[in-house]
Amino acid sequence: MAEISTLAKYPFLNASKDYVKDNNLSVSEILDDPLYERARMIGLERIDKSFKNRDAGNRSLSGETDCIMELLSYPIARMIAVCIGDVYFKRRYALGEAVHAYKNLINEQMSFLTQVSKEFDIKIEYDEDANKIKIHFTDYLKYAPTRYKEWKMINREMSQGYINISHKDLARLIQEALRARINNELDSRQCNNAIYKTFSTDIQRIQNTVMMHRKKIEAVPVGRLDVEKLPPCIKDILAAIQAGENVPHAGRFALVAFLNSIKLSTNDILKLFSTAPDYEEERTRYQVEHITGDISATSYKPPGCDKMRTYGICPVEKIDGLCKRTRHPLSYYTAKWGQEKKKK
Ligand code: SF4
Is 105 a member of any domain?
no
> For residue 146, is pLDDT > 80?
no
Residues 6+ apart with CB under 8 A from 99: 54, 55, 56, 175
* Mean pLDDT comparison of 212-221, 244-253, 335-344, highest-scoring range: 244-253
- Does the CB atom of residue 254 touch ligand 1 within 6 A? no
Q: Report the separation in Å between the CA atom of 257 and the middle of ligand 1, taken as the mean of its atom positions.
A: 15
Is 8 a member of any domain?
yes
70 and 194 housed in the same domain: yes
- Does the CB atom of residue 323 touch ligand 1 within 6 A? yes
What's the mean pLDDT in 240-250?
Answer: 84
260 and 326 housed in the same domain: yes
**314 class by beta-carbon count within 10 Å (0-12 exposed, 13-18 middle, 19+ buried):** buried
> For residue 221, is pLDDT > 50?
no
Q: Would you tell me how many other CB atoms lie within 10 Å of the CB of residue 19?
A: 20
**133 class by beta-carbon count within 10 Å (0-12 exposed, 13-18 middle, 19+ buried):** buried
pLDDT score for 139: 93
Give the tens place of pLDDT for each residue, 274-315: 877 677 788 888 889 889 887 776 778 999 999 999 988 999
% of the chain with per-residue pLDDT over 90: 56
Ligand 1, atom nearest to 320 Cα = 4
145 and 23 housed in the same domain: no
What pLDDT band is residue 268 in, cutting at 50, 70 and 90?
confident
What pLDDT band is residue 320 in, cutting at 50, 70 and 90?
very high
Domain boundary among 119, 154, 176: 176
145 and 287 housed in the same domain: no
Is 287 a member of any domain?
yes
Q: Report the separation in Å between the CA atom of 333 and the middle of ligand 1, taken as the mean of its atom positions.
A: 10
244 and 300 housed in the same domain: yes
**Residue among 44, 33, 34, 92 at smallest CA distance from 239:** 92
* Mean pLDDT comparison of 119-128, 151-160, 208-217, highest-scoring range: 119-128
Q: Report the separation in Å between the CA atom of 328 and the middle of ligand 1, taken as the mean of its atom positions.
A: 7
- Does the CB atom of residue 233 touch ligand 1 within 6 A? yes
The protein residue with its alpha carbon nearest to ligand 1, atom 6, reads 314
Give the tens place of pLDDT for each residue, 195-205: 999 999 999 99
Residues 6+ apart with CB under 8 A from 141: 153
How far apart, in whole angstroms, are the C-alpha atoms of residue 246 and residue 260?
21
- Does the CB atom of residue 313 touch ligand 1 within 6 A? no
What pLDDT band is residue 220 in, cutting at 50, 70 and 90?
very low
Is this prediction's pTM over 0.85? no
The protein residue with its alpha carbon nearest to ligand 1, atom 1, reads 323
3-state secondary structure of 36: helix
Q: Report the separation in Å between the CA atom of 119 and the middle of ligand 1, taken as the mean of its atom positions.
A: 31
Is 310 a member of any domain?
yes
The protein residue with its alpha carbon nearest to ligand 1, atom 3, reads 329
Is 68 a member of any domain?
yes
Give the tens place of pLDDT for each residue, 75-123: 999 999 999 998 889 988 999 999 999 999 999 999 999 999 999 999 9
Q: Count of domains in the chain?
A: 3
150 and 276 housed in the same domain: no
- Does the CB atom of residue 322 touch ligand 1 within 6 A? no
27 and 170 housed in the same domain: no
Ligand 1, atom nearest to 236 Cα = 5
Q: Report the separation in Å between the CA atom of 325 and the middle of ligand 1, taken as the mean of its atom positions.
A: 10
76 and 199 housed in the same domain: yes
15 and 80 housed in the same domain: yes
Is 181 a member of any domain?
no
Ligand 1, atom nearest to 318 Cα = 5
How far apart, in whole angstroms, are the C-alpha atoms of residue 47 and residue 36?
17
287 and 252 housed in the same domain: yes
Is 182 a member of any domain?
no
128 and 244 housed in the same domain: no
233 and 321 housed in the same domain: yes
3-state secondary structure of 144: coil
DSSP bridge pairs for 162: 136, 159
Using an 8 Å Cβ cutoff, are 35 and 72 in contact?
Answer: no
**290 class by beta-carbon count within 10 Å (0-12 exposed, 13-18 middle, 19+ buried):** middle
Is 184 a member of any domain?
no
Domain that holds residue 45: 4-98+189-210
pLDDT score for 341: 63
3-state secondary structure of 198: helix
